[in-house]
Structures are given as structure tokens and as C-alpha cells.
Amino acid sequence: MDKHVRNLTILAVASVFLLAVLLVWASNRSKEPVGGQKVSVQPPVQDEASYRAFLEDEFFFDPDPQQSVTVSESEVRIPRLYMTASSMMRDIRIQIVDEDGEAVKGIPFYVTVEPLGEYKDLDQDGLIYVPDMKSGEYFLTLGAVEGYEIPTEPMRVRVKDQLEYTVVDDIMFYVYAESEVDPTVDDTEVQEAGNDADETEVTGKWEGTDAAFGIDVSKYQKEIDWQRVAAAGVEFAIIRCGYRGSSTGKLVVDPYFEQNIKGATEAGIEVGVYFFTQAVNEVEAVEEASMAAELCKAYHLDYPIFIDVEGAGGHGRADALDRNTRTAVVKAFCETAKSAGYHGGVYSGRYWFYNNLNDEELQDYTHWLAEYRANPLFTGKFNIWQYTSSGSIDGISTRVDLDRIWQ
């Protein structure tokens, strides 16, 4: 090609390119606001089918690297079970718990106790109790449970031959809410002191004395306005924390305990607690005191932890105890409370102190007497007097027990 012609060709191409750039610039400039007015530019109309056609192209998008990762079976987390065990006296108490330390329910666990054999969690509550054992060492192995990882090594447990009056660390595994029992057959405490009342019984605030004035309450007083109670002159309250079922023997929390102890404390009222016993031996008394101590550890107590020793309508599991066994129960309860840093006390009526307890063996513990008359006839030593079960206090809609410090 002639050199002159080639130069002309290059110049022509450059001119065309420059003209195209100028046209694009002019087009964009025409879209800018003119005189402060905004010009709307409408996008070209497209056919919807052609506009969305790329969605039908399986190769349009790159694969998501997170979705393409394959998780191997070894990386799937399998929940783990744990086994704990303790001994109070010639027994083993076994708990199957999850990673949060909660008893695992609804599974029929099997535990082999060497050299005795296999034991099953019949009621599937995550607890197995093995009684009547000889002291010594035993080895526990949890049977395989589908869908769970279990301990691979046997657990060694030493069975105690003598009871210790100390708080049972795992006691809360054995405690029930009242919604889990039938209170009509388990909460059957009967205040027999009313049978001993006479016409001199005082049903209002005791006047003419500087002795501290108090009340004792449980679920039966229902909702309590503690600020009004305090304004009515109540200085202390002894609150039921729980009971042992008079039929099943289960440990049950009073459903109003927490709100009562919080409400009384916030109102500036001093507090103590009581537990209605149906223990038939010292082991069960240690359990009851352990439960009371565990429930109270979040609170400050100004008064003792009392064991409430009364009948349960004649059909309670502890109603027929002889006085020596019942006295041993009270001592075991109070000594266990003492080991937890509390003072122990015993509540009962005049007749029971005289006839169902060896009271001379209980002089180290605070006595709380129930006797409904103007002048108590009980000749023994007592520190708090429950002088009526028919009291009335502002802030409580039901009848309430009234108490005063005696000595």
C-alpha cells in the first residue's frame, strides 16, 4: 500500500473514533439536570422472558464454595452422657446426666455394678438407687445408649458404712416440684396442736410485751403482700421451704417458698425456714436437711432451719415411728443443718414433745412450741411460741399462724 494512502486511512479511523467519543459525551450531558430540574431517564423496555433468561442457565453462577463442602461423619457432634455416684450409708445413688449436669430422663438406662450385677432405671428419671450394700469398693459401668457417647472407663465408688451428718452434694437431683407429685396424698400435714386449744387462745397480735412478733407461712397463705405485713408489725417470718411426701416419700419444694423468702427479706422482715418431715430414718433426715440447706444458700437466715415434727393424718409413712427413731431423725436433721453453717431447730406440739420425742436429748436445738392458749402448759424449755393458727394479718387473705419469742 502507498505510504500516503496508509496515512490517510489511519487518520480516517482516528476521526471516526473521536466522533464516537464526542457523541457519547454529548448524550450523557443531555441527561444531567438543567436549570436545577431533574431529568428522568427511563430504562429500555425488555421482554421479561429474555430479561430472566440467565436464571435458566445452570452454568451462569459459580458454585458456592460453602455449599460444596462435604461434612464427614467424624465431624458430626454426638451428645455425651456422664455418670455420677455417691454413697450415704451402705448404698449407692447413681445419676445419669448430660453436659449441663442435668439428669437425663425418658431413657431406660442400665448400669452394671461389679460384682453385684445389672440395675435398670425403671422409671426413666435418670436416677438409680442401690440399697442394702456392704461397705467397700464397687465399679460402675453405663450400658450403651443409642445416639450418645458414654464413659469408656468404669467408675469406682466407695460405699460408706457410717452415716455422716453433712449436706448431700447431689441432693437436688432428688427434689421435685409440687407439679410433679399429687399433693392431695403427699402434703397431708395435720396441725394437732389445735386439738389442745382452749377459750383463752389469742388470735391477734400479742400485746403488752417487747417480745418479737412473727408469723409462719407456706403455700396455704397463697399470695402475700409482704410490705403490708411488715407495716402491720410483723418482725419475723418462718417460711416452709418444702416437705417429704407422706405417701411417696419424695422431696418436694413448697411452690411459694422462693417468692415468700424474697418478699419477706425485701420488706425488712427477718426470716427462718421449716421443713415438714416424713423421714423414717436418719439417712432420710440428712436428705431433708440437705435439701433445706441447698434451697437457703442463696439467702441470709436470721432464724434456724426447723424440722417440723407432726402427724400426717394417721396414714403418713412416718406417723408410726417409735420415739427413739423419731428423736434420732430430729438429731440427724439438726446436725446436718449445723454442718452447713445453720442452727437447727425442732417444731412440734406439747403432746408430741412429751410423748413422741426424747426431748432431753434435743436440748441443744432451738425449740419452737405450738400450743394454743393464753398461757402454755408445756413445762420444757422452748424459745419460740406459736400461740394460734387462726390469726389475721393485713396483707394475708387467709388465716395465718402467729408466733412470738418466748425466751
- Note the pLDDT tens digit of each residue in 91-137: 999 999 999 999 899 999 999 999 999 999 999 999 999 999 999 99
Residue 245 pLDDT > 80, yes or no? yes
Q: Is the omega angle on the peptide bond into residue 115 within 30 degrees of 0, that is, cis?
A: yes
Confidence grade of residue 378 (pLDDT, cut at 50, 70, 90): very high
Sheet holding 127-130, edge to edge: 82-86, 92-97, 127-130
- Compute the half-sphere exposure of residue 8: CA atoms within 13 Å on the CB side of its CA: 5
Q: Find, among 311, 310, 362, the residue nearest to 333 by Cα.
A: 362
Confidence of residue 20 (pLDDT cuts 50, 70, 90): low
Q: Give the total residue count for the chain.
A: 407
The rounded distance, in Å, linking the Cα atoms of 375 and 138 is 58
Mean pLDDT of 15-28: 54
**Residue 14: is its pLDDT beyond 80?**
no
Q: Write out the E strands in 103-186.
A: 110-114, 117-120, 127-130, 136-142, 155-159, 175-176
Query: Number of helices (H) and strands (E), helices first, in the chain?
Result: 8, 17
373 pLDDT higher than 90: yes
Which amino acid type is present at position 267?
A
Q: Is the pLDDT of residue 33 over 80?
A: no
| pTM of structure | 0.79
Which range among 32-41, 49-58, 214-223 shows the weakest confidence by mean pLDDT? Answer: 32-41
Average pLDDT of span 353-379: 96
Q: Which fold has domain 78-159?
A: Immunoglobulin-like (2.60.40)
Where residue 76 falls among pLDDT bands split at 50, 70, 90? Answer: confident
Q: What is the pLDDT of residue 22?
A: 54
Q: In the beta sheet, which residues pair with residue 96? A: 83
Q: Please, which pLDDT band fits residue 74 given cuts at 50, 70 and 90? A: low
DSSP letters of 34-52? BTTBPPP-PPPP--HHHHT
Indicate the DSSP class of residue 311: B
The grid coordinates listed for 163 are: 452415716
Q: Which long-range CB contacts under 8 A does 386-389 form with residues at least 24 apart?
A: 386/193, 386/216, 386/347, 387/201, 387/202, 387/206, 388/197, 388/201, 388/202, 388/203, 389/191, 389/193, 389/194
Give 212's contacts (C-beta < 8 A, 6+ positions apart).
Answer: 235, 236, 404, 405
- Environment class of residue 29 by beta-carbon count within 10 Å: exposed (0-12), middle (13-18) or buried (19+)? exposed
Element (DSSP H or E) covering residue 293: helix 282-296
What are the pLDDT digits (tens) for 246-296? 999 999 999 999 999 999 999 999 999 999 999 999 999 999 999 999 999
Residue boundaries of the structural domains of the chain: 78-159, 171-405
Question: How far is 402 from 391, CA to CA, in rounded Å?
Answer: 6
What pLDDT shows up at residue 225? 98
Percent of the chain with pLDDT strictly greater than 70: 81
Q: Looking at the predicted structure, is the pLDDT value of residue 67 above 60?
A: no
Assign 40 a pLDDT band (cuts: 50, 70, 90): very low
Beta bridge partners of 204: none
String of DSSP letters for 181-228: S-HHHH---B-GGGGG--TT---S---S--S-EEEEE-GGG-SB-HHH
Between 6 and 157, name the one with better pLDDT: 157
Mean pLDDT of 303-322: 95
In which residue are the cell numbers 400426717 written? 312
Read off the pLDDT of residues 143-197 as tens digits, 9 standing for 90 and up: 999 999 999 999 999 999 999 999 999 999 999 999 999 999 999 999 888 787 8
Architecture of domain 171-405: Alpha-Beta Barrel (3.20)
Q: What are residue 385's DSSP bridge partners?
A: 369, 404
- Quote the longest CA-to-CA distance of the chain: 143
Q: 176 has which bridge partners? A: 252
Amino acid at 40: S
In 313-381, where do the E strands start and end? 344-349, 366-370
| Range scoring the smallest mean pLDDT among 33-37, 213-217, 388-392 | 33-37
- The per-residue pLDDT of the chain, averaged, comes to 87
Which one-letter DSSP state was computed for residue 5?
Answer: H
How far apart, in Å, do the first and last CA atoms of the chain sit?
132
Burial class from Cβ neighbours inside 10 Å (0-12, 13-18, 19+) for residue 292 reads buried
